[in-house]
C-alpha cells in the first residue's frame, strides 16, 4: 500500500457569521488546512485491516483517498424487501447463503425493507451486499458506530468469520477501539498517532464471551423470540425452556419436548431454537444446542433436532458430535407434532440430526 500525504484545504466564504467567529476567536487565517501524512507498509497477504482513531483524526479522509472505489456503505435501498435490493444477477440461493454467512440468518427479516431493520442488521446487510457485488476489497466506514457496544463486539467477530471464509479483503474504519480484539485484524493504522501495526504474526484469540444458560418456567418469554423464528410462532407449553445470556444480555432461546415414538420412551427433541439477530453468526446457537444436548445425554436421553434452516444444517454437518439420520421432503400428512397443532414442515426439505458424544 502507498505512502500518503493528503492535504485538505477549505476556504469559507466571508459571510457575516464567518467574520463574526473569526473576530471573536482571533482566527488569523481565512483558510482551514489539514495535512495527513502516513505510510501503510503492507503486501497483499492480508484479509482484514482496521483504520482506527478518534473523531476528526482523518480516518474517512485517508480511507476515501486510498480506496475510493471500495466503499460498501453507499448502497441505495429502495425495494420493499431486502431480498429485492440485492444485485439482480444473483440467485436467491446465492443471496441467502451470503446472508447466513454474515449472521443475517432470520428469514422473516429478509422480507422486510432496509429502513425497518435494526442498526446491527443494517450493518450485516451492507456487508452482505458488498460480498454480493464481487468486490475484491471492501471498506466499511463508521463500522459499528451506531450499535450497542456489546452487539458491536459480537458483530465484529461474526464479520471476520464471514470474511475469512472468502478470498476478499475488508477494511473497517472506526472510532471504537473495543472492536479490535473481536475483529482480529491483520493490521491496524491508528490515525491518532499516524502509526501502522502489522499484526499478522501475532496469535489471534477472540476474547472470552460470558455465556450463561438458565432454565425458566416462564413460558411467556417465547414472545420475545417468536418473531425471529424462521418457521412458526407456535410454541408447546409442555416444553422445557432454557434461555442463553451473552455478556448478561438475553441472546438465545431453546425449548425441548418429548418425541413421540411407538417403543422408545427416552427421546428428547429440540422444539424451538432462536438466536436474537444481533447475536447471530458467532456460533452461539450451536454452543447452546450442544450444552443442552450434553445435559440430556447425561440424563440418559437421546437428543434430536429436525431443521430446514440452511445455516443450522451447515453448522451441524461440520460438528462431529451431530449425526445426520435422515433428510428429504416430509410427506403430506406427516407434519411434525408440536402440541395443539402441527408445524409447516410438509413439502419442505428437512434434515434430522442426533447428538452423540
Write down the pTM of the prediction.
0.80
3-state helix, strand, coil in the chain (%, to 5): 30, 25, 40
| 240: its cell numbers | 422445557
Return the H-helix or E-strand segment holding 269: strand 267-275
Residue limits of CATH 3.40.630.30 in the chain: 211-355
Quote the CA–CA distance of 197 and 273 in Å, as a whole number: 41
| 88-98 per-residue burial string, b: 16 or more CB within 10 A, e: under 16 | eeeeeeebbbb
Quote the CA–CA distance of 2 and 112 in Å, as a whole number: 41
A 10 A CB-CB count for 271 gives 23
pLDDT band at 2 (very low <50, low <70, confident <90, very high): low
- Topology of 211-355 in CATH? Aminopeptidase (3.40.630)
* Burial bucket for residue 44 (CB in 10 Å: 0-12, 13-18, 19+): exposed
Q: Which of 106-120, 325-339, 341-355 has the lowest mean pLDDT?
A: 325-339
Q: What is the rounded end-to-end Cα distance, in angstroms, of the chain?
A: 49
In this prediction, residues 61-76 reach a mean pLDDT of 86
Quote the CA–CA distance of 272 and 301 in Å, as a whole number: 18
pLDDT at 181: 93
Share of the chain above pLDDT 90, in %: 49
pLDDT at 294: 97
139 vs 135, higher pLDDT: 139
The tens digit of pLDDT for each residue in 215-230 reads: 999 999 999 999 888 7
In this prediction, residues 1-23 reach a mean pLDDT of 83
Question: Does the pLDDT at position 339 exceed 50?
Answer: no
* Burial bucket for residue 183 (CB in 10 Å: 0-12, 13-18, 19+): buried
In this prediction, residues 303-332 reach a mean pLDDT of 87
pLDDT at 331: 56
Question: Does the pLDDT at position 335 exceed 60?
Answer: no
The tens digit of pLDDT for each residue in 37-68 reads: 888 888 889 999 999 999 888 898 999 888 88
Q: Which CATH number fits domain 38-198: 2.102.10.10, 3.40.50.300, 3.40.50.620, 3.90.1640.30?
A: 3.40.50.300
Question: Does the pLDDT at position 347 exceed 90?
Answer: no
The tens digit of pLDDT for each residue in 230-288 reads: 777 789 999 999 999 998 999 999 999 999 888 888 999 999 999 998 898 889 999 99
Mean pLDDT computed over every residue of the chain: 88
- Contacts (Cβ under 8 Å, ≥6 apart) of 264: 302
Return the H-helix or E-strand segment holding 19: helix 16-24
pLDDT at 180: 94
Q: Which of 175-179, 184-188, 320-324, 341-345 has the lowest mean pLDDT?
A: 341-345
Return the H-helix or E-strand segment holding 230: none
- Contacts (Cβ under 8 Å, ≥6 apart) of 249: 150
Q: Report phi then psi at 136, rounded to 5.
A: -70, -30
Q: Which of 83-92, 196-205, 285-294 has the lowest mean pLDDT?
A: 196-205
pLDDT at 334: 47
| 156-167 per-residue burial string, b: 16 or more CB within 10 A, e: under 16 | bbbbbbbbeeee
Residue limits of CATH 3.40.50.300 in the chain: 38-198
A 10 A CB-CB count for 335 gives 15
Helices (H) then strands (E): counts for the chain: 11, 14
pLDDT at 39: 85
Question: Does the pLDDT at position 178 exceed 80?
Answer: yes
Quote the CA–CA distance of 243 and 218 in Å, as a whole number: 10
According to DSSP, the residues that pair with 303 across neighbouring strands are: 268
Amino acid at each position: 500500500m502507498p505512502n500518503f500525504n493528503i492535504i485538505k484545504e477549505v476556504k469559507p466564504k466571508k459571510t457575516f457569521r464567518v467574520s463574526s467567529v473569526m473576530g471573536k476567536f482571533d482566527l488569523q487565517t481565512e483558510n482551514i488546512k489539514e495535512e495527513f501524512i502516513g505510510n501503510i507498509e503492507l503486501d497483499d497477504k492480508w484479509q482484514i485491516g482496521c483504520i482506527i482513531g478518534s473523531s476528526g483524526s482523518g480516518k474517512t479522509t485517508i480511507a476515501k483517498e486510498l480506496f475510493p472505489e471500495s466503499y460498501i456503505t453507499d448502497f441505495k435501498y429502495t425495494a420493499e424487501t431486502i431480498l429485492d435490493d440485492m444485485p439482480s444477477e444473483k440467485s436467491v440461493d446465492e443471496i441467502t447463503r451470503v446472508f447466513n454467512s454474515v449472521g443475517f440468518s432470520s428469514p422473516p427479516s429478509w422480507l422486510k425493507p432496509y429502513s425497518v431493520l435494526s442498526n446491527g442488521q443494517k450493518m450485516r446487510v451492507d456487508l452482505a451486499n458488498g460480498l454480493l457485488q464481487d468486490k475484491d476489497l471492501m471498506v466499511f466506514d463508521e463500522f459499528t458506530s451506531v450499535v450497542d457496544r456489546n452487539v458491536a463486539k459480537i458483530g465484529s467477530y461474526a464479520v471476520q468469520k464471514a470474511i475469512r471464509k472468502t478470498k476478499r479483503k475488508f477494511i473497517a474504519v472506526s472510532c471504537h477501539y473495543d472492536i479490535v480484539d473481536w475483529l482480529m485484524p491483520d493490521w491496524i493504522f491508528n490515525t491518532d498517532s499516524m502509526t501502522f501495526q502489522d499484526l499478522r504474526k501475532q496469535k489471534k484469540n477472540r476474547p472470552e464471551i460470558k455465556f450463561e444458560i438458565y432454565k425458566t418456567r416462564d413460558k411467556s418469554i417465547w414472545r420475545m423470540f417468536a418473531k425471529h423464528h424462521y418457521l412458526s410462532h407456535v410454541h408447546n407449553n409442555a416444553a422445557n425452556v432454557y434461555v442463553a445470556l451473552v455478556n448478561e444480555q438475553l441472546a438465545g432461546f431453546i425449548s425441548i419436548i418429548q418425541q413421540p415414538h411407538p417403543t422408545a420412551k427416552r427421546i428428547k427433541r429440540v422444539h424451538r431454537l432462536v438466536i436474537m439477530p444481533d447475536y447471530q453468526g458467532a456460533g452461539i446457537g450451536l454452543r447452546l444446542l450442544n450444552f443442552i444436548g450434553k445435559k440430556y445425554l447425561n440424563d440418559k436421553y437421546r437428543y434430536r433436532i429436525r431443521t430446514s434452516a440452511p445455516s443450522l444444517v451447515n453448522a451441524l454437518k461440520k460438528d462431529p458430535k451431530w449425526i445426520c439420520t435422515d433428510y428429504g421432503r416430509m410427506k403430506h400428512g406427516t407434519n411434525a407434532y408440536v402440541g395443539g397443532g402441527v408445524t409447516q414442515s410438509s413439502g419442505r426439505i428437512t434434515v434430522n440430526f442426533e447428538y452423540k458424544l
